Chain A
């Protein structure tokens, strides 16, 4: 299968990438390409021009900055898996397979905001921050403001997600996932993290049109109670031929309970 024809250029720097996007509104950014290229091969996406940012060294690697780890957006899942980050290495181990993890990037995945991707749950549970740069400058978006809808993140056209800031003070974290056996995407995933102040944050992915926090679960766990059931009662769950909305809601309860027991 071939994608439809397109023009291709490699970005020399983040600044050059932003300028290129300002000059040509048709440019579509490609990172590891493991969501975009499959969609292009199926002609579900036919961007007229690609801007490749995968090799930008300024967007690779993990540094420490005060109370945060700062992760370059083009850091691959394989590098996240081998890192000392809280929660994200366990989550990365659930993404795709080893070859996919060698190409796919944390920033590409988070900016893409696939409702079944694993990282959004981890970002919400850890309270990650997103550094987004545009021609007008840089802004930082909190995890709760990052995922706006199905395949819709806070990263706007003409902007690049450059770094993900992850708090260093997380003392314990877990990820529980019920995965689709062929695609390996999450039918439901639940991420949980205990923060420096002792409070637990939890979020799910795969179950609805976007990843979201689990306020009822957080309230119960922070009050010393069990996870219980009915955690997403009344919420609008996804239903498809793989799993009904009711089953997904049930999985949120089951995986939350397992996660809470593992978190201890």
Chain B
């Protein structure tokens, strides 16, 4: 089946089997390997991307279900020279160790900050309950999100092409 979607602002059309999961489409067809496969069972959140502006677990969405939609991955929210405030936050607050969960953490947090620009620690922890980290103990992840919220409150711009989704 042909699917067409805008990924990080660019249109792509590919022929896929209906059973192709969105995460595999992104990683293997489009070579956007920033989105990770963690548990593969809809629990760990490493594969979180945005579909039409909403955070989803891309291991539990078929590529054909995202046909015609706008998809944003970690590659689309900032660049090495123009980091998203969340990427800056994770850097500054040491919000990662191995980094495997980080793309999912950032995409999930981006959705939180869109709806709630200054979340409390409790709200951050509640919102990230679908994202597992096996290194940090979450403490610095919470600080990273708070740091990003502060940057954004001070007018820090989100980088990248699709950061306003």
Q: A residues near B, CB below 8 A?
A: 1-8, 33-34, 37-38, 41-42, 50, 52, 54, 78, 96-100, 102-103, 182-184
Taking a contact as CB atoms under 8 Å apart, the answer to whether B19 and A5 are in contact is yes
Report the separation of the CA atoms of residues A38 and B156 in the bound assembly, to the nearest whole angstrom. 39
Taking a contact as CB atoms under 8 Å apart, the answer to whether B40 and A41 are in contact is yes
Given A8-B62, A33-B61, A98-B127, the answer on whether A1 and B54 have CB atoms closer than 8 Å is no
Distance to closest chain A CB from B136 (angstroms): 18
As a 0/1 sequence over residues 22 to 33 of chain B, the CB contacts with chain A under 8 angstroms (1 = contact) are 001000000000
Residues of chain A within 8 A of B112, CB atoms compared: 98
Within 8 A of A (CB), among B11-65: 17-21, 24, 40-43, 45, 48, 54-57, 60-62, 64-65
- B130 part of interface (Cβ distance < 8 Å): yes
Most B CB contacts (10 A, CB to CB) among A33, A34, A52, A99 go to: A99
Listed by A's residue number, 12 A-B pairs whose Cβ atoms lie within 8 Å are: A1-B40, A8-B64, A33-B60, A34-B60, A37-B62, A52-B65, A98-B55, A98-B111, A98-B127, A99-B130, A102-B56, A103-B57
Distance to closest chain A CB from B41 (angstroms): 6
Taking a contact as CB atoms under 8 Å apart, the answer to whether A5 and B41 are in contact is no
- B77 part of interface (Cβ distance < 8 Å): no
Residues of chain B within 8 A of A34, CB atoms compared: 42, 60
Taking a contact as CB atoms under 8 Å apart, the answer to whether B129 and A97 are in contact is yes
Taking a contact as CB atoms under 8 Å apart, the answer to whether B48 and A99 are in contact is yes
Closest A residue by C-beta to B57? A99
Given A33-B62, A37-B62, A182-B43, the answer on whether A99 and B19 have CB atoms closer than 8 Å is no
Residues of chain A within 8 A of B54, CB atoms compared: 78, 102
Taking a contact as CB atoms under 8 Å apart, the answer to whether B56 and A2 are in contact is no
Taking a contact as CB atoms under 8 Å apart, the answer to whether B56 and A3 are in contact is no
Report the separation of the CA atoms of residues A112 and B1 in the bound assembly, to the nearest whole angstrom. 28
Taking a contact as CB atoms under 8 Å apart, the answer to whether A103 and B127 are in contact is no
Residues of chain B within 8 A of A78, CB atoms compared: 54
Residues of chain A within 8 A of B64, CB atoms compared: 8, 52
Taking a contact as CB atoms under 8 Å apart, the answer to whether A6 and B60 are in contact is no
- B108 part of interface (Cβ distance < 8 Å): yes
Report the separation of the CA atoms of residues A52 and B67 in the bound assembly, to the nearest whole angstrom. 12
Report the separation of the CA atoms of residues A245 and B41 in the bound assembly, to the nearest whole angstrom. 27
